């Protein structure tokens, strides 16, 4: 009792400055909805998420800092976000338990295009109001209110995932402090000549009327004529996958009167200003330098120009050149000095240059049929053919992407890339390693970055046009500063905003409120962890910009994880309806009540409906509550699929099973402690019992594997090791052994076994904590009463390390493995026999050469019998005349026999077993007869193959004998 009183005194003294520790019932089965409900709040209230020491008081080796890739404010989080949170939090908790001072910073991204697109749709749907019908400030105010509602839900999801983030450092990418850093960086880059304005071809969303980045472009392969509905209008259906042939009459016929070109973009014909053929195509050699009449306007003559870019096997071999609406054609026009005539307005409608006045202000895609009919009326249409193509869509609006020539702001990336390249080659690591080549390829082939977007929501570009005779652009943080720089001339700020990725690329600096002079003490980040799809769009750009400003890399390590896809390998998307809200898996959802989860009054409702649709498709009976820990464990376990994760949510239940086993093992321990009235548990006690030595040896291996997994960033090795240890070594082996022993009421053995079990449980919950924080805190609180030196929370306890004072006894491992092999073989035999439990008798034939194994079987015979579930178990007690015997030849030293009153073998399994044995016999026999094998294989390998062949042949004799006797 002295020990327990001391424990209680220690606890009272230690927790006097902490809030009340949550207490949950331990009577029933593992229920994550109960276990996980209070711990996050308790952790947060007690400051466990904050660095334990100020960063200026600890060396760089003793601190860890990183940021959570900020999710967009556009909707609820999905499983991809859940995976990122699970991996990062596991790494963060591991580092914190290693004694590091940890800062993990949360935030959200303003997501310019996505947010503006959703808000415009929302306003049109709810108020029949267009953005252009209000002022810019009014529109921004609406989004700010909407943002606050969405962010609250996003942070609630993050908290449910158990993320141990330092919420005092929370940021939003449009916060004034971050915006100031973005503005200052733009101005510095502009003044250094690295930001410039130029007319170039860009991806253009006509629906949103803005340039968009490559990551916001979706591609769909069309293999045959296909009608696609554009913009959600059923009547607005456009056919793709068709190559039309159009005749362009020659100005000076020379035996040939026309050139027939192939095109899929009939609507761009008004902008044609040349025809091109391959210079080596003999069909057109005599047409080089000649002219054709434009098919829609004979007053326009267009040249025929040879160029290597033309594929002579495409269509007719002649292609039309539309410089203003195709990237390749634009480059062609520069090479050959051809004018670029834009025939579309920025909203996608035909403009005054379209040659057909009646089409002006009509959507360009709707004009296809009309232009085709005009060509037919003129006798210039020459038919069509099917062909395979790829159509580019705006991922935000669903509109067809157009290519527009537009003046935009660009960042010169090559100077930045060359500055970072040498250091990247020499010292930078990207994990997994197979992403390194892709990383270097991007650096070597990088192009200037279009950083402007034609939006209202975002960081407004701090560039001002000086309106004078030779107008020019300047960069300034305010109108007053711009007037000062320009000498009080008239100035007007650019209405565009910066690409969201520009501000995101500065986060390693902006979240610490960098003043463009003194590098923050928190910089660089220890690591950045993200999905592999962001390697170029975000991570590379952080390297380019932050390295340029600081001459230091923004992080010491890049860790990438694969992308999540559904069980069919499809990308998770709203259109497919296969996106699942993590909270539906954590808390469970009934389809009858899931409509209650839908939010009203904001655009988030659309996301919730998509998630509801996905739930109905994949889980017709709803989802049972699996808990955060199970979801985290299963997601991390999935990362062993390197390139993409084909996830099946039903597999989360297997992780829950692991925790149920650990829960029950702890309950068993506490019950036995109470039963034997043990007051003192020495977890450093070293037992000499084979069962205990086995458990501790396996624990030592698990400790090493977990630390190695974290160090190498192979967290799937951590889950693999812990799953095996908890389910197999601890529960299926050790507990099954000692349950039989504890029935003997041997107090000395009980104390020894329970001390060993305590060591295992106390250690394994700490090993598991970074991945499954809730159940481990719950179990830790149940166990710490027996250790006077335990810290108040598992979060701040020490992670078991490689040189932990646990021993590794290979002899005990081998002996227990032999016993378990015997148990598994008998269980396999029993599964082939149709009989009630405990009707069968086991007989073991062990060769005298295996003396230790034989002694172990004799010593633990009753324990083995109970584990198998047998009526009796004996050694070398088989009478030749015994009937109803089912035998199995395990190896040359071990044969097992099963005797029952009535023996019924599963004939199907037996036939398959014979077939498999015959196949193996044939393979090994042919191998042994091969001259090449005899010459090249070592004597040791040949001896093993001969022994294996003998074992197979002996087992075949046994099985065939059973068949022959009709058993």
Asked if residue 507 belongs to a domain, the reply is: no
**Exposed / middle / buried, residue 684 (Cβ in 10 Å: 0-12, 13-18, 19+):** exposed
Q: What is the pLDDT of residues 682-721, one digit of tens each?
A: 767 788 999 999 999 999 999 999 999 999 999 999 999 9
Report how many domains make up the chain: 6
Query: Model-level pTM?
Result: 0.85
pLDDT: which is higher, 901 or 646? 646
What value does the mean pLDDT take over residues 105-113? Answer: 95
Of these ranges, 241-245, 395-399, 608-612, the one predicted with the greatest mean pLDDT is 241-245
Residue identified by tokens 């002219």 is 291
Residue 251 has pLDDT above 80, yes or no: yes
CB 248 within 8 A of CB 293: yes
Q: At 598, is the pLDDT very low, low, confident or very high (cuts 50, 70, 90)?
A: very low
Say if residue 670 is in the same domain as residue 630.
no
Residue 112 has pLDDT above 50, yes or no: yes
948 Cβ contact list (under 8 Å, min separation 6): 924
- Partners of 467 in beta bridges: 490
Q: What is the pLDDT of residues 45-65, one digit of tens each?
A: 999 999 988 887 888 889 999
Domain boundary among 592, 617, 647: 647
pLDDT score for 607 = 52
Say if residue 641 is in the same domain as residue 669.
no
For residue 274, count other CB atoms closer than 10 A to its CB. 22
d(CA 218, CA 328): 20
Q: At 450, is the pLDDT very low, low, confident or very high (cuts 50, 70, 90)?
A: very high
**763-772 burial, b if ≥16 CB within 10 A, otherwise e?**
bbbbbbbbbb
Q: At 619, is the pLDDT very low, low, confident or very high (cuts 50, 70, 90)?
A: low
Say if residue 827 is in the same domain as residue 925.
no
Say if residue 899 is in the same domain as residue 909.
no
pLDDT: which is higher, 662 or 594? 662
What value does the mean pLDDT take over residues 407-435? Answer: 80
pLDDT score for 6 = 31
Asked if residue 399 belongs to a domain, the reply is: yes
pLDDT score for 470 = 87
d(CA 793, CA 707): 20
CB 618 within 8 A of CB 568: no
Residue 642 has pLDDT above 90, yes or no: no
The secondary structure of residue 131, as a DSSP letter, is G
pLDDT score for 426 = 60
Say if residue 349 is in the same domain as residue 394.
yes
Say if residue 278 is in the same domain as residue 136.
no
Q: What is the pLDDT of residues 817-868, one digit of tens each?
A: 999 999 998 888 887 775 555 677 888 988 878 889 999 999 999 999 999 8
Say if residue 398 is in the same domain as residue 283.
yes
Alpha-helix residue ranges (DSSP H) falling in 603-651: 604-618, 628-638
Q: What is the pLDDT of residues 165-177, one digit of tens each?
A: 999 999 999 999 9
411 Cβ contact list (under 8 Å, min separation 6): 189, 194, 195, 448, 449, 451, 502
Say if residue 269 is in the same domain as residue 379.
yes
Which of 745, 681, 559 lies closest to 69, judged by CA? Answer: 559
Residue span of the structural domain in which 572 resides: 31-46+65-172+562-647
pLDDT score for 596 = 46
Residue 728 has pLDDT above 50, yes or no: yes
**Tokens for 584?**
């539906």
Asked if residue 659 belongs to a domain, the reply is: yes
Q: At 433, is the pLDDT very low, low, confident or very high (cuts 50, 70, 90)?
A: confident
Q: At 879, is the pLDDT very low, low, confident or very high (cuts 50, 70, 90)?
A: low
Residue 427 has pLDDT above 70, yes or no: no
d(CA 507, CA 511): 6
Q: What is the pLDDT of residues 468-496, one digit of tens each?
A: 888 999 999 999 999 999 987 899 999 99
Asked if residue 679 belongs to a domain, the reply is: yes
pLDDT: which is higher, 526 or 429? 526
pLDDT score for 665 = 97
pLDDT score for 966 = 47
pLDDT score for 74 = 87
- Partners of 490 in beta bridges: 467
**By percentage, how much of the chain surpasses pLDDT 90?**
57
d(CA 906, CA 899): 15
CB 840 within 8 A of CB 833: yes
pLDDT: which is higher, 18 or 797? 797
CB 647 within 8 A of CB 614: no
Residue 649 has pLDDT above 80, yes or no: no
Say if residue 590 is in the same domain as residue 662.
no
Asked if residue 854 belongs to a domain, the reply is: yes
pLDDT score for 456 = 96
pLDDT score for 442 = 82
Q: What is the 3-state secondary structure (H, E, C) of 811-839?
A: HHHHHHHHHHHHHHHHHHHHHCECCCCCC
**For the domain that residue 851 is a member of, what is the CATH number?**
3.30.2320.20
Q: What is the pLDDT of residues 521-559, one digit of tens each?
A: 999 999 999 998 888 889 999 999 999 999 999 999 999
Say if residue 74 is in the same domain as residue 143.
yes
Percentages helix, strand, coil for the chain (3-state, rounded to 5) are 50, 20, 35
Phi, psi of 280 (to 5 degrees): -100, 5
Q: What is the pLDDT of residues 564-577, one digit of tens each?
A: 887 667 666 655 55
pLDDT score for 837 = 54
Asked if residue 58 belongs to a domain, the reply is: no
pLDDT: which is higher, 295 or 24? 295
Say if residue 886 is in the same domain as residue 851.
yes
pLDDT score for 449 = 93
Q: At 421, is the pLDDT very low, low, confident or very high (cuts 50, 70, 90)?
A: confident
724 Cβ contact list (under 8 Å, min separation 6): 702
**Rounded to the nearest 10 degrees, how much is the dihedral formed by the CA atoms of 547, 551, 557, 562?**
10
Asked if residue 629 belongs to a domain, the reply is: yes
Asked if residue 756 belongs to a domain, the reply is: yes
73 Cβ contact list (under 8 Å, min separation 6): 108, 109, 110, 111, 115, 147, 150, 151, 154, 172
3-state secondary structure of 377: helix
pLDDT score for 164 = 97
Residue 269 has pLDDT above 60, yes or no: yes
What value does the mean pLDDT take over residues 373-386? Answer: 94
Residue 457 has pLDDT above 80, yes or no: yes
What value does the mean pLDDT take over residues 197-208? Answer: 91
Domain boundary among 334, 369, 403: 403
**For the domain that residue 695 is a member of, what is the CATH number?**
1.10.730.10
12 Cβ contact list (under 8 Å, min separation 6): none
**For the domain that residue 267 is a member of, what is the CATH number?**
3.90.740.10
Q: Mean pLDDT score of the chain, rounded to an integer?
A: 87
What value does the mean pLDDT take over residues 326-346? Answer: 94
Say if residue 657 is in the same domain as residue 612.
no
Q: What is the pLDDT of residues 78-98, one digit of tens each?
A: 899 999 999 999 999 999 999
pLDDT score for 368 = 92
């Amino acid at each position: 009792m002295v020990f327990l009183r001391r424990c209680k005194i220690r606890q009272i003294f230690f927790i006097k400055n902490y809030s009340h520790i949550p207490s949950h019932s331990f009577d029933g089965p593992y229920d994550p909805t109960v276990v996980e409900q209070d711990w996050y709040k308790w952790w947060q209230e007690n400051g466990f998420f904050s660095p334990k020491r100020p960063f200026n008081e600890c060396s760089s080796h003793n601190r860890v800092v990183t940021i959570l890739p900020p999710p967009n404010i556009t909707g609820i989080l999905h499983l991809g976000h859940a995976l990122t949170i699970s991996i990062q939090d596991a790494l963060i908790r591991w580092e914190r338990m290693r004694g590091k001072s940890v800062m993990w910073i949360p935030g959200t991204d303003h997501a310019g295009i996505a947010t503006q697109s959703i808000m415009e749709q929302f306003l049109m749907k709810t108020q029949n109001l267009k953005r252009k019908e209000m002022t810019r400030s009014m529109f921004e105010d609406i989004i700010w209110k909407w943002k606050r509602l969405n962010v609250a839900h996003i942070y609630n999801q993050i908290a449910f995932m158990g993320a141990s983030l330092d919420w005092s450092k929370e940021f939003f990418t449009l916060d004034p402090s971050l915006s100031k850093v973005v503005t200052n960086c733009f101005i510095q880059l502009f003044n250094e000549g690295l930001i410039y304005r130029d007319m170039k071809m860009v991806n253009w969303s006509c629906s949103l009327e803005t340039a968009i980045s490559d990551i916001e472009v979706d591609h769909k392969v069309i293999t045959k004529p296909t009608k696609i509905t554009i913009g959600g209008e059923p009547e607005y259906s456009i056919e793709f996958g068709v190559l039309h042939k159009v005749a362009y009459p020659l100005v000076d016929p020379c035996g040939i009167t026309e050139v027939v070109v192939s095109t899929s973009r009939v609507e761009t014909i008004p902008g044609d200003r040349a025809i091109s053929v391959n210079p080596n195509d003999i069909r057109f050699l005599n047409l080089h330098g000649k002219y054709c009449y434009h098919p829609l306007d004979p007053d326009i003559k267009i040249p025929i120009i040879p160029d290597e870019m033309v594929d002579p096997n495409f269509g007719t071999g002649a292609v039309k050149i539309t410089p203003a609406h195709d990237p390749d054609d634009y480059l062609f026009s520069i090479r050959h000095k051809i004018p670029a005539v834009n025939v579309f307005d920025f909203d996608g409608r035909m403009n005054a240059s379209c040659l057909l006045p009646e089409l002006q202000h009509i959507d360009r895609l709707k004009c296809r049929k009309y232009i085709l009919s005009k060509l037919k009326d003129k006798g210039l249409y020459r038919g069509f053919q099917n062909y395979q193509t790829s159509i580019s869509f705006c991922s935000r609006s669903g509109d067809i992407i157009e290519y527009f020539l537009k003046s935009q702001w660009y960042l010169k990336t090559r100077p930045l890339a060359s500055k970072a390249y040498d250091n990247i080659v020499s010292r930078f690591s990207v994990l997994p390693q197979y992403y390194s080549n892709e990383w270097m390829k991007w650096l070597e082939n990088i192009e200037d970055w279009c950083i402007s977007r034609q939006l209202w929501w975002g960081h407004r570009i701090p560039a001002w046009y000086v309106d004078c005779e030779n107008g020019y652009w300047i960069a300034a943080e305010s109108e007053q500063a711009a007037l000062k720089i320009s000498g009080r001339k008239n100035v007007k700020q650019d209405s565009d905003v910066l690409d969201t990725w520009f501000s995101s690329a500065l986060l390693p600096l902006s979240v610490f409120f960098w003043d463009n002079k003194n590098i923050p003490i928190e910089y660089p980040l220890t690591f950045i962890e993200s999905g592999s799809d962001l390697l170029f769009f975000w991570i590379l750009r952080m390297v380019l910009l932050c390295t340029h400003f600081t001459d230091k890399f923004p992080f010491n390590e890049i860790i990438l994880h694969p992308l999540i896809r559904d069980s069919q390998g499809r990308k998770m998307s709203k259109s497919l309806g296969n996106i699942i809200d993590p909270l539906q898996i954590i808390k469970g959802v009934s389809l009858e009540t899931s409509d209650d989860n839908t939010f009203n009054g904001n655009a988030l409702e659309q996301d919730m409906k998509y998630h509801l649709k996905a739930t109905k498709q994949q889980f017709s009976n709803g989802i049972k509550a699996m808990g955060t820990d199970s979801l985290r464990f299963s997601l991390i376990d999935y990362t062993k699929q390197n390139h993409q994760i084909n996830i099946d949510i039903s597999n989360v239940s297997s992780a829950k099973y692991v925790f149920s086993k650990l829960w029950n093992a702890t309950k068993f321990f506490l019950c036995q402690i109470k039963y034997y009235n043990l007051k003192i548990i020495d977890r450093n006690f070293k037992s000499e019992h084979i069962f205990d030595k086995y458990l501790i040896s396996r624990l030592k291996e698990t400790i090493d594997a977990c630390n190695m997994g974290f160090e190498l960033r192979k967290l799937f090795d951590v889950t693999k090791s812990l799953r095996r240890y908890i389910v197999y070594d601890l529960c299926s082996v050790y507990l099954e052994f000692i349950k039989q022993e504890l029935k003997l009421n041997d107090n000395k053995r009980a104390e020894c076994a329970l001390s060993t079990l305590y060591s295992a449980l106390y250690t394994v919950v700490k090993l598991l904590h970074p991945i499954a924080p809730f159940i481990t805190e719950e179990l830790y609180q149940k166990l710490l009463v027996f250790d006077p030196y335990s810290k108040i929370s598992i979060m701040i306890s020490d992670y078991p390390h490689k040189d932990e004072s646990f021993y590794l006894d290979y002899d005990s491992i081998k002996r227990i493995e032999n016993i378990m092999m015997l148990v598994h073989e008998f269980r396999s035999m029993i599964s082939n026999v149709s009989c009630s439990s405990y009707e069968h008798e086991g007989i073991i034939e062990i060769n005298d050469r295996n003396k230790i194994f034989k002694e172990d079987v004799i010593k633990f015979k009753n324990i083995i019998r109970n584990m198998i579930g047998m009526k009796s178990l004996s050694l070398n007690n088989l009478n030749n005349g015994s009937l109803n015997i089912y035998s199995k030849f395990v190896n040359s030293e071990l044969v097992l026999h099963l005797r029952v009153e009535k023996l019924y073998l599963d004939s199907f399994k037996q036939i398959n077993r014979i077939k498999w044995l015959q196949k193996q016999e044939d393979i090994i026999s042919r191998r042994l007869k091969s001259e090449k094998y005899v010459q090249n294989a070592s004597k040791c390998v040949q001896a093993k193959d001969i022994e294996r062949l003998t074992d197979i042949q002996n087992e075949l004799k046994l099985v065939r004998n059973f068949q022959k006797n009709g058993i």
